[in-house]
Amino acid sequence: MKKDKIVNIIHTKPERSFPEWAYLERTLIDTMNDAIDLVLEKYLKPDGQFLWPPDPPEKSKGVNSLDDVYESFHSWPIFYILGGDKRFLALAHRQFEVTTSQFARYPSGVGCQAVEKEYSARSDWMHQGEGYQFYYYLNLADPEHPRARERAVRFAGFFLNEDPTITEPNFDAEHQVMRSSMTGSMGAAYGGYSDHWGYAPFMDFYGIPFYDVPGVQTVFDLKDPEKAKAMGAMVKARQKSSDTVINLLSTSMVMNAYLHTGEEKYKKWILNYAGAWRQRTADNGGILPDNAGPHGVVGELMDGKWWGGYYGWTWPNGFCFMAEAITTASEHECLLTGDAGKMNWIREQTENLLQRGVDVDGTLFVPQKYTEDGSVIEYSIHNDNTMTRPDKVTDRPDFSRKRQIDGWFEFAPLLPQPMTHAYFITMDPQDLSLIRRIRNNKTRGHMQID
């Protein structure tokens, strides 16, 4: 943001009473302060351990919800910063320590514990990004904590290849790629991919990761062991050694180390990695690709396709998490360079999708996903029943067959958060105009911006 766009307001007139909003805010803070013991008693053991998983560690085949447990406390440091009781900071520190220790006793299901070296052993960056918000906020609330700097440097070091115990490094600096779609404190998670991609109920909401596997049209085909094996082989071949754009969320972990140390190597890593994905976007005609192979080439392991990456355009959620990844990386670039123009990345992607949007009663529904045109795409209608086809192939009443337009599908309103982040940095009227264009006039009035 340019200095001439910042308005300084100095208020010198004494007030005889608080404004109503301030009174209500303080009342809410006081109420939340009083509620903490109820939460602790209901959901945690006396030492802070979660009441889940219920089985002893030795009886668990695999626990993969470290991020969810961290998320249970991620707002506590922020609440403390905003004026909450200091107990919230102390308890937030305790919960990070206890949760990290607790999950170090549980197997991940992929040949190691869920936590190794105090960090998620092997996971994708959508989940790492969610879970480690708690850690980032702890650093923000208490940067002088005795373990803060040491952990910041060590955790970032997992991705700068500074841990000598990692045999399969996470990052390839020459080609500017993560070496797998899943990474962590044990390195590139080549062993985290199953040979069998069988049906599970959660798939009803997202469909399948690839629509070019012979014999597999819908999630129900994956009940067939042979077809599940074929899908597993495809996922493994394409995603195991591919980078995914979601990995840009790792820039937050490296940024945390930079904020603690100011060391140039962290700044360089962030700018180079984000810059590589920017170049891939430019080389792809301005459309954000979701994957890059071992040599940094888009589609290298995807038969030349710019879609198909883990947490990418096709599966499971489409654009929303990709938008978070490039917005997050862009914000770090802005902070490191002072260039608010870096927010053009999310703006351009938003404009690209809006060009493909369909107006439904005053709300723009834009495609969230992409795959080969002409695919049979049928799964839950949980998002919306807009842009569907009548020729279903399943008898599930809660399923709809998605209509494609030039390969794009699952039309829904865009979430406002990424562009709102951009506007807060740029204060550009163009960005505010985009936010107004994407507002959801149907079901999300609380997200509208006037």
Q: Mean pLDDT for the chain?
A: 94
110 falls within a domain:
yes
The more confident residue out of 111 and 265 is: 265
Q: What is the pLDDT of residue 230?
A: 98
Exposure of 3 in the CB half-sphere (CA atoms within 13 A)? 0
Q: Is the dihedral of CA 372, 378, 380, 384 positive or negative?
A: positive
Sheet arrangement for strand 399-402 = 378-380, 399-402, 388-389
217 falls within a domain:
no
User: Does the N-terminal peptide bond of residue 429 adopt cis geometry, omega within 30 degrees of 0?
Assistant: no
Contacts of 130 (CB under 8 A, 6+ apart): 67, 70, 71
pLDDT band at 96 (very low <50, low <70, confident <90, very high): very high
Cβ contact 319:353 at 8 Å: yes
Q: How many domains does the chain have?
A: 1
Cβ contact 347:430 at 8 Å: yes
Print burial letters for 28-51: b (CB count within 10 Å at least 16), e (below 16): eeeebbeebeeeeeeebeeebebe
Q: How far, in Å, CA of 105 to CA of 76, rounded?
A: 25
Q: What is the pLDDT of residue 95?
A: 98
Q: At what angle do helices 429-437 and 417-426 cross, to 10 degrees?
A: 160
121 falls within a domain:
yes
Q: For 273-412, list the strands marked E by DSSP.
A: 291-292, 358-360, 363-370, 378-380, 388-389, 399-402, 408-412
113 falls within a domain:
yes
393 falls within a domain:
no
Q: What is the pLDDT of residue 2?
A: 52
From 128, 26, 124, 122, select the one nearest 71 (Cα to Cα). Answer: 128
CA angle at 306 for the pair 302 and 310, rounded to the nearest 5°: 70
Q: For 89-190, list the strands marked E by DSSP.
A: 115-116, 119-120, 171-172, 177-178
Beta bridge partners of 380: 399
Q: How far, in Å, CA of 233 to CA of 415, rounded?
A: 34
pLDDT tens track for 370-424 = 999 999 999 998 766 689 999 999 999 999 999 999 999 999 999 999 999 999 9
Percent of the chain with pLDDT over 90: 86
Is the pLDDT score of 368 beyond 90?
A: yes
Q: What is the pLDDT of residue 132?
A: 99
Cβ contact 445:436 at 8 Å: no
pLDDT tens track for 247-286 = 999 999 999 999 999 999 999 999 999 999 999 999 999 9
226 falls within a domain:
no
Q: What is the pLDDT of residue 244?
A: 99
pLDDT tens track for 113-157 = 999 999 999 999 999 999 999 999 999 999 999 999 999 999 999
129 falls within a domain:
yes
Percent of the chain with pLDDT over 70: 95
pLDDT tens track for 157-187 = 999 999 999 999 999 999 999 999 999 999 9
Domain extent for 96: 24-151
The more confident residue out of 368 and 55 is: 368
pLDDT band at 64 (very low <50, low <70, confident <90, very high): confident
Is the pLDDT score of 246 beyond 70?
A: yes
pLDDT tens track for 286-321 = 999 999 999 999 999 999 999 999 999 999 999 999
Q: Model's pTM, two decimal places?
A: 0.94
Beta bridge partners of 399: 380
126 falls within a domain:
yes
Q: How far, in Å, CA of 136 to CA of 250, rounded?
A: 12
